[in-house]
Amino acid sequence: MNKPMKKLIIVFFLIFSFYGNAQEIALLKYSGGGDWYGNPTALPNLIKFCNQNINTKIASKPATVEPGSPDLLSYPFIHMTGHGNVVFSDSEKINLRNYLSSGGFLHIDDNYGMDEFIRKEIKKLFPNNELVEIPANHAIFQKPYSFPAGIPKIHEHDNKRPQAFGIFLENRLALLYTYETDLGDGWEDPEVHNDPKEVREKALKMGANIINYIFNN
């Protein structure tokens, strides 16, 4: 067993073994010029929703972590968002690949404008793995909330259908890329986008499904 895997297993064991200790999730601070810091209220609101509705114990304030940091291995869930360019250095790609191959999970939410850049970086991360569309019958859409049509539409941009793509490693969904849905916008404070209550709830429920999936698979 390699060192990154050993470290990840130890960290995850500690996270889930100490009763009452808050789990931590993180936002990815990447390079390239894209606004990695977009949707600042999104993750805190998702955390609050999950803690109140699906019995998680996640620290209320998400951490921030860079793709090349050894601290990446401390988080079972990493969230990434933005509108623009994304660039991973060679060392960052190695670190991210080790993290994901060792049991970590990366959720990339295109906040409109990231797609052409992030697809190139995902291909560099996993040149031998296809980014495939996740079918609506996948477990991530089934519980604790049912989404029979798959990933929901939160904000409209180009009249395209919302899609969820994934990189599977040994049949495990390790990287989730949500496109033309804007889940993160739906997690933001109500006054940011003035979304109806039912739209925000739909986004938060889908986010809860993602969190539930990684903590139970």
What is the assigned CATH class of domain 3-216? alpha beta
Contact 96, 67 (CB under 8 A): yes
Please give the angle made by the CA atoms of 100, 66 and 42, to the nearest 5 degrees. Answer: 85
Contact 195, 186 (CB under 8 A): yes
End-to-end CA, the chain: 20
Report d(CA 8, CA 73) in Å as an integer.
Answer: 5
String of DSSP letters for 140-170: GGTSSS--TTSSPP-S-SSS---EEEEEEET
Contact 142, 106 (CB under 8 A): no
Q: Count the Cβ atoms, other than its own, within 10 Å of residue 110.
A: 25
Could you tell me the residue ranges of all domains in the chain? Answer: 3-216
* Rg of the chain (C-alpha set): 16
Q: What is the pLDDT along the chain (217 residues), one digit of tens a residue?
A: 454 444 444 445 434 433 346 799 999 999 877 777 878 899 999 999 999 999 999 999 999 999 999 999 999 999 999 888 899 999 999 999 999 999 999 999 987 788 999 999 999 999 999 999 999 999 999 999 999 999 999 987 777 899 999 999 999 999 999 999 989 989 998 887 778 999 999 999 999 999 999 999 8
Q: Tell me what pLDDT residue 6 has.
A: 46
| Residue 148: cis peptide before it, omega within 30 degrees of 0 | no
68: CB partners within 8 A, 6+ apart? 89, 91, 92, 95
**pLDDT one-digit tens code per residue, 143-200:** 999 999 999 999 877 778 999 999 999 999 999 999 999 899 899 988 877 789 999 9
